Every structure is written in C-alpha cells, then in structure tokens.
Structure 1
Amino acid sequence: MVPAPDTGPPPDDDPSTAATGSSGGRSNPFARHVSRIVDRFGDLGGFVAVPLLLALVEVEKVRRAIGPVGRGFSINLELLLPSPLVTLWRFAEPPEPSEPFAGSPRDESFGSPSFGESAPGSGSTTPTRSTGAGGTDVTIETPVETVEVPLEAIGTETMVWLGLALVAYGVISAILMAAYVGGIDRRLRDEPVAIGSCVVTYAPRFVLYNLVVFGAFLLVVPVFVLVPPLVVLAIPAIIVLGYLFYPVPFLFVVGETPFLEAFRRSVRLTTAGGPVLSFALWHVVVGAVSSLVLSLLVSAGGAGSLLALLGSAPLALVLTAATVSFFQEFLESDGLETTDGSRSDGRGTDETDEYGFVVD
C-alpha cells in the first residue's frame, strides 16, 4: 500500500503560507507576528544589543534616569507607530533633575556651576543665556548634553555646523537602520545576516530617508516659531503623516523597493486600511501601555531605571522584528515583495498563468 500524502498544515513560520491560511486571515496580525517573533527570539537575540546600546549612548538621559530620588516625576503615554529603531527613550522621558539647595556648601566653595550644571534654583540642567524681552531660545539635544542657543545668535556659520551635524547623524543612523532591519529580515528568512551586504544595499535609501525627514523638520520649525498657534494644528498632521509613511523604511528592506516608489506604495497600502491599519493601531496601543509602565519605572530611579533599560531592549526588538515579519507576509501574499518580482539575492518569483501553473 502507498501511504497517503501528508496534507497537514504547513509550519506557521512560513510567511507565504501564514498569509494565505484561513486562520491567518481571521487572526490579529499584530498578535500573530509578535507570537512568531517570541517563538524565534533565540535566533534574533543578538540584535537586542542595538536598542540597549543606543539607549546607553544617550548619556544625559541615562544620568537623569539614575539620578537621586525626589528629582520629579514623569509619566508618558506615547503613541508609537512602527519604527526601524526604538529605544527606551522613545517610550519614556526621564524626569528633570532635582534643584540643588540654594547656598549649599558646593556652591559657596566652587562658585559658578560648570558647563551643563544648573545654577541654584534654576531647575534646568542646560546652560541658558538671557536673550532679553521676547527672546527665543532654540534647544539642541545631543547624546551628551542639551544646549539652548538664543535664536538671534544663530547665524550662517551656526547653521552650517548644524547642517553638517544633521548629515553626519543621518548617515550614522542610516547605517544602523540598514544593518539592524536588514539583519532581522534575513534572519527571519533563515539566510545569513551579512551585515556588510545589508549596509551596502539599504543604507543609501535610509540616508535619503533621514535627509527628507530632517529637511521637512527644518522647513516647518521657522513657521512654528513665527506663528506658535500652528503647533496645535501640527500635532494631528504629524500623526496622519506618520501613519501614511510608516511602512517606508520597511519597504526599503523587505520589498527591496526604490526610494520614491516606497513612498508611493506606502500611501497605497496605508490608505487601503485592512491589515496595515490594524497592525499600526495595535502597535500604538501596545506602545502606549508600554510607555506608561516604563515611564513609571524610569521615574522611580535607580533599580527602576535599570529594570526599564533591560526590559525595553527586548521589547523594542520584538516590535521592530514583528513589523518586519508582518510586511514579509503581507507583501508576499499580495505579490508585492519587490517591484521587479525578485530579490537582490537572485531568488526570483516564477511567472504563472491564470490557473497558477508556471509559465516558461
């Protein structure tokens, strides 16, 4: 007798079968892909170092988070859409440091505070400069220090240096995103991570993406400075734009999509609603709850901040990897994984006729 062929369901880890399966169509896409990433966390565990180290690089925020008890309290409820790089500081903002007592021995012995330290009773950790009546300070946050510069003091030379700093930051951030998201994508496909190949392939698109984001920000900031009430209108606009274009960085990697086409495809996917909208909404809900819990831990200082730091890194990895997994499934199920029908690694998609048979 010839044994009957195995007709059991395929493994859940196959994105294409998960997308077309009857259970996949009815289940919550966010929960399904988070579950998949949790099951495969052993394969992705090495990537947890990325959000952990990036959080530690923010020296000033780490210093504020582990500061003495009684420095204040900060509760965050962040509406976090899917993003390539997420760290603890996207979920929680450390509370402001406590104000030193006026006339303390330290102040009397050492005179004026050093750079970055606040004067007694100022309630600020950043150096400030009086700009006169009606003056406006521009706050510049760096990983090491937050600096406030009078708007009147910003000239051509300052703008050039700021521009160069933004370009450098954009390039470094692009390299990290290309290696991080690209590595996760390839690991989920059971391929070699090949960090160098990911950087060469995806980093140029991420550089352009960062420059577009920075450029848009620099264009609207002067408008908000001149007309402050417009900030209220900007909040819903930022939320809408964030949703419309949240797939773009993932399309660069998962779909091998060119730069401009990624923006067009992102708008088509997000305006169509369906799983793309559902995934984003559940991501926002989970991000809001997580930010509430993590901000409470950070506000506790000391051990609470350490616990938040250690807990946020795997959480950030799971959220990013779940988004990569979701778009792997979604693009493959719709036949949109790449714009030319093949990935850059040489694996093509066979053309089929209307009945599903391969055409030569």
Structure 2
Amino acid sequence: MQPPTDAGGGIEPATLPAVVGVAFGAAFLLSLAAYVVATGLLLAGYLGSIDQSIRTGRFDFVANVRRYGRSLVAYEALILVVLSAIVLLLTTAPFLFPVAFVSVYAVGYLTYLAPYLVVASEDDLLEAIRHSAGLTTSRADAALAFLGFAVPATAFSLPLSRLAYSDGVLAAVAAAALVAPVGLVAAVFFVLVARRLAEGADRSTAT
C-alpha cells in the first residue's frame, strides 16, 4: 500500500512525520538485531577460544563462532528482551523499582554461569540456564566465585566510570584500555569456574 501523496506525486506533508517515524523505528529495530547478532557471535568466538585454549593450547575463533554462535546470539537476544521489558515496566510503574532491582540481581546471579557453560559443558542455552541455576543454588563455591569477582569489579568500576565520562577522548581511550585486560581476566576466570563446577557436578552424579 502506497503512502498518501499530494497532487504532485510526493508524500503529503501531514503524513510525513508518520512516515519518518516508521522509517526510524524500522532502522532502530534493524540496528538492535544487528547488535545482538554481532555481540553474540563475537562472544561465541571469544569464550569458545578461551575454553579451547585452556583445554588444548590452541584455538580456532571462526570454528567457535560456528559452534556456539546460535546459543550465544539467543543469549544476547534474551538479555535485550528482559531488559526492555523491565524498562517498559518501570516507565509505567516506577514504584516497582526496588523489586525490579532485587529481581535483576537475583536472576543475574542464578544465570551468570550460563554463557560460560555453553562453551565449557557444550550446553545449549536452555540447558545452560538450568545448569547455572542448579549450580548457583547448590554449590557454595559458585557464590564465592561470583562475590569474589563482583565485589572488586564494582569497586573498580566507580573510578573507571569517572575516568570514562570525564572530558576528552584520551580519558575514554584510557578507560577502554584498562577495561580490556580486566574483561579478559574475568572471562578466563569464569570459564575456569564453569568448567570446574560442571566437572564436579558430573562426578557427583556419577557416584
């Protein structure tokens, strides 16, 4: 169906805002989809290569993207959907902010191992989420690993965020340079944690 046009063949001025709004909305949704796919594929290659390096001393980034990409793209999409739903809820019911805050942290803790279990245990996304919830509610070392990294990371993020949002491009570049090695350490740490917890759970099941 063609948009209404004036006698000269152009779009009527009254309908122009609606047409622009639809075009902007479509572009925004496409950019979100591209972001989800790109971050999911990069995460698959990144975490898969870390796990492969731990096991074999070698890695194949592209092969890991192919192997884990579907599950981790779905993981990124799930995060986006959940966060969007929370934001929408809080815009209509801001008094629920304390409940939402606690719920986000509780669910985040229960599922924090999921992306690492995708590569460490070869789980699909749903299996990884169930596996993560089981480990985080039954193993004290899962809680200790979470707190052992989350507490110093939170303390580290406060001065880092001030640096990132201070004036100047150099400050932002310096903040990014500091974040990169911390992110790598976190990824290696949690892949190791996921692998050790999963192997321990398998041994307990076997006995």
On whether the aligned pair clears a TM of 0.5, the verdict is yes
**Structure 1 counterpart of 2:175, one-letter code:** A
Matched, 1:318 2:178: no
Matched, 1:247 2:123: no
Secondary structure of 2:56's match? coil
1:227 to 93, 113, 117: 93
* Deviation of the 1:301 alpha carbon: 4.9
- The equivalent of 1:328 in structure 2 is 195
* Deviation of the 1:296 alpha carbon: 4.5
2:32 to 166, 175, 181: 166
Q: 1:310 to 1:221 in 2, by over 3 A?
A: closer
* Deviation of the 1:305 alpha carbon: 4.8
1: CA distance between counterparts of 2:35 and 2:172? Answer: 26
Normalised by the length of structure 1, the TM-score is 0.47
Matched, 1:187 2:53: yes
Matched, 1:256 2:119: no
2: CA distance between counterparts of 1:308 and 1:168? Answer: 26
Matched, 1:215 2:81: yes
Structure 1 unaligned runs (5+)? Answer: 1-151, 337-351, 355-360
1:186-234 C-alpha deviation (Å, 9 max, x unpaired)? 1111342111110000000011112222222333333222222222321
Normalised by the length of structure 2, the TM-score is 0.79
1:2-33 C-alpha deviation (Å, 9 max, x unpaired)? xxxxxxxxxxxxxxxxxxxxxxxxxxxxxxxx
Structure 2 unaligned runs (5+)? Answer: 1-17
Q: Indicate the structure with greater helix content.
A: 2
* Deviation of the 1:162 alpha carbon: 2.9
**Structure 2 counterpart of 1:201, one-letter code:** R
2: CA distance between counterparts of 1:281 and 1:154? Answer: 47
Secondary structure of 2:153's match? helix
**Structure 2 counterpart of 1:285, one-letter code:** V
**Structure 2 counterpart of 1:168, one-letter code:** A
Aligned residues: 187
**Structure 2 counterpart of 1:171, one-letter code:** V
2: CA distance between counterparts of 1:242 and 1:305? Answer: 27
Root-mean-square deviation (Å): 2.6
Q: Are the equivalent residues in 1 in contact too, given 2:86–2:100 (CA < 8 A)? A: no
1:28-84 C-alpha deviation (Å, 9 max, x unpaired)? xxxxxxxxxxxxxxxxxxxxxxxxxxxxxxxxxxxxxxxxxxxxxxxxxxxxxxxxx
Tell me whether 319-328 or 301-310 shows the greater mean CA deviation.
301-310
2: CA distance between counterparts of 1:218 and 1:305? Answer: 27
**Greater Rg, structure 1 or structure 2?**
1
1: CA distance between counterparts of 2:60 and 2:179? Answer: 26
